[in-house]
Amino acid sequence: MRELQNIIDAKSSTDGDGVKIHRLAGQHLNIHLNPYILIDEINSDDAADYIGGFPEHPHRGFETITYMKAGRMRHRDHMGNEGVIGAGDVQWMTAGSGVYHSEMPEQENGLLHGFQIWLNLPARDKMQPAAYQDIDHSTMPEKPLPKGGSVRVIAGDVVINDNLKAKGALKQRSTQPVMMDIKLTAGEKAEFAFNPHNPVLVYVYNGSTNQLKRRQLGIFSDGCTLSLHGEWEGAEMLVLSGHPIDEPIVQYGPFVMNTRAEIEQALQDLHNGTLVDRA
């Protein structure tokens, strides 16, 4: 069994144009989140908390994953990609050598609930060409659990309760990402098996498990089986796993590289207008 090793509380913060979020990130968390860098949650039905969105900004050296639970978000980037993702959809962007993009709410009122997750890239992949992929919720396997819960597999190959197999829509990557959205009813238990050598992150965004409360992140050890147990109110959670990257991390705002010199080069490219080719 995978064992719970640490619990971290998400912190209130703001990003973009005043968007209110709950965040798990920072240099002190890099070793715990590896290969992930950041987990942000937006969850508000007050437009003032999110309407400013995330105007155009640059990235280099990692991947961004936007997963919507409620509401709609429009993405635009310098490559001419544009699209709107809604409830259950994912936008998976590889910043690679450089990208400019914006993410703006496609609504003026109502509930907006979603996540942005940053997934690091190994040094050999950091300067690959930027890429963009929308993943419609209809292409993701969603498996029912015996007591009324459900499992949506966004990325990775997973075995549920020893006999139910599911494969995410995303093609495999060097970081071996696993990403699931799990709902457990009151008292429901479920077990999940995937790459036993990679650690696991469990973020509870609603309800609680027998080990984690709402807006807590649990860091679990490697092992063959992840066992989760919904408390009296049930639980909804994201489960993330991936192959840790055993390399230095140097981050400056939207750039995640391996050395200070690479960060300085990114800043110089940004200043010179050569971070991306807008031709």
pLDDT score of 171: 79
Angstrom distances, CA of residue 63 to CA of 27, 259, 278: 18, 18, 20
Q: Which domains does the chain have, with CATH numbers?
A: 4-261 (2.60.120.10)
Task: Yes or no: say if 251 and 27 are a contact pair by the CB < 8 Å rule.
Answer: yes
DSSP for the chain, written as a single string: ---EEEEEE-EEEEETTTEEEEEEESGGGHHHHTTEEEEEEEEES-GGGTTT-EEEEEEBSEEEEEEEEES-EEEEETTS-EEEE-TT-EEEEE-TT-EEEEEEES-SSS-EEEEEEEEE--GGGTTSPPEEEEE-GGGS-EEE-TTS-EEEEEESEEEETTTEEEE-SSPP-TT--EEEEEEE-TT-EEEEES-TTS-EEEEEEEEEESS--TTEEEEE---S-EEEEEEEEEEEEEEEE-----S--EEETTEEESSHHHHHHHHHHHHHT-SS---
Residue with tokens 């190994």: 122
What is the spatial distance between Cα 186 and Cα 149, in angstroms, rounded to a whole number? 9
Kindly report the pTM of this predicted structure.
0.96
pLDDT score of 169: 85
What is the spatial distance between Cα 73 and Cα 107, in angstroms, rounded to a whole number? 8
pLDDT score of 279: 61
List the chain pLDDT tens, one digit each, 279 residues: 999 999 999 999 999 999 999 999 999 999 999 999 999 999 999 999 999 999 999 999 999 999 999 999 999 999 999 999 999 999 999 999 999 999 999 999 999 999 999 999 999 999 999 999 999 999 999 999 999 999 999 999 999 999 999 999 887 889 999 999 999 999 999 999 999 999 999 999 999 999 999 999 999 999 999 999 999 999 999 999 999 999 999 999 999 999 999 999 999 999 999 999 876
**Size (the chain), residues:** 279
pLDDT score of 199: 95
